[in-house]
Amino acid sequence: MDQIKVVMMRGRWTAWIDDLNAVSDRVTAVAAETDEDLMREIVDADVVYGRLPREPFRIANKLKWVQSIGVGFETMLYPEMIDSNVVITNTAGAFDSAMAEHALALILSFTRGIIFCERNRKGHLWQQDVPISQIDGQTACVLGLGSIGRAIIDRLPALGVTVTAVDAQVTDPPDGVSKLYSPDQMLDAVAEADFVIVALPLTDGTRGLINADCFARMKDTGYLVNIARGPIVNQADLINALRAHQIAGAGMDVFEKEPLPEDSPLWEMENVVLTPHLGGRSEEGGPNMKNIFVENLKRYVEGKNLLNIIDKQKGYLIQ
């Protein structure tokens, strides 16, 4: 049987080499800690772990599969990759719990007045007259029914929240979803929601999807939460909607440009909670990624179907 060479691109995952070699005596895993290492090792690699740039891809003569780091893979959708037979997978599932909890934290920081009290704490101000409400009895619209969107949906009904969703692939409402909308019905969906939660992949079709038209349809008491990809939300339109009080607030973990520029108005807006793209971070995330890759490598060695295969033409995970 042929040997399988696995190249681990620079990062903490190079520490997994022994675990990968233990999958099969056919597997040889190597670390590419520098760009020069990558250009040397990629030539005869069968598998790569990382987000492979275009230049090394062009000389990858044997490459058959790229396991992307984390959920994101859009930087690898260059024409040569799309047109090739190389399979891309991601580690969907590794960060679902962390990101679902983060979405809830952003919502609750508003509804329970936490963000306002925390700001008052700096001035030693004891003020009970802050905006505060419950989410029990309200409606959340989740945009995207990938593994992260579903993890969010799994948690919301336990808090008394009615859940609707928008998805391009799913045609029957999954458990926990009271109503499912198609993408061309998205504006109707957000109009009925108290919370609009973005859990979509970034594609040509979703870039700038959440824009002025969307904010004009949302309730003026509604909140936007984005834990997906920054460019899905038109940030200028969001800022205008917040200033005009078209919506009540926004909880943002991702932004069009990262780090968020120091002169961005979002830093100073009282109806914004922002975190620096840490929604998927947890102590458990690294081991979760390793377990998914090891399982996929076992499947590859055995000739079985891989987990989390990406549709390169459409730019999202095949469900």
Whether 28 contacts 21, CB under 8 Å: yes
3-state helix, strand, coil in the chain (%, to 5): 35, 20, 45
Answer yes or no: 245 catalytic.
no
Q: Report how far residue 262's alpha carbon sits from residue 264's, in angstroms, rounded to the nearest whole number.
A: 6
Helices 96-111, 114-121: axis angle to 10 degrees equals 70
Query: How, if at all, do strands 310-311 and 316-317 pair?
Result: antiparallel
Residue among 51, 102, 150, 229 flagged as catalytic: 229
- Are 9 and 52 contacting, i.e. CB atoms less than 8 angstroms apart? yes
With b for 16 or more beta-carbon neighbours within 10 A and e for fewer, the 10-44 pattern comes to eeebbebbeebeebbeebbbbbbeeeeebeebbee
Q: Which of 155, 277, 281, 299 is catalytic?
A: 277
258: annotated active-site residue: yes
CA 84 from centroid of its chain's CA atoms: 25
Catalytic residue chosen out of the listed positions 258, 270, 284, 295: 258
Residue 108, SS3?
Answer: helix
Q: Which residues are catalytic?
A: 229, 258, 277
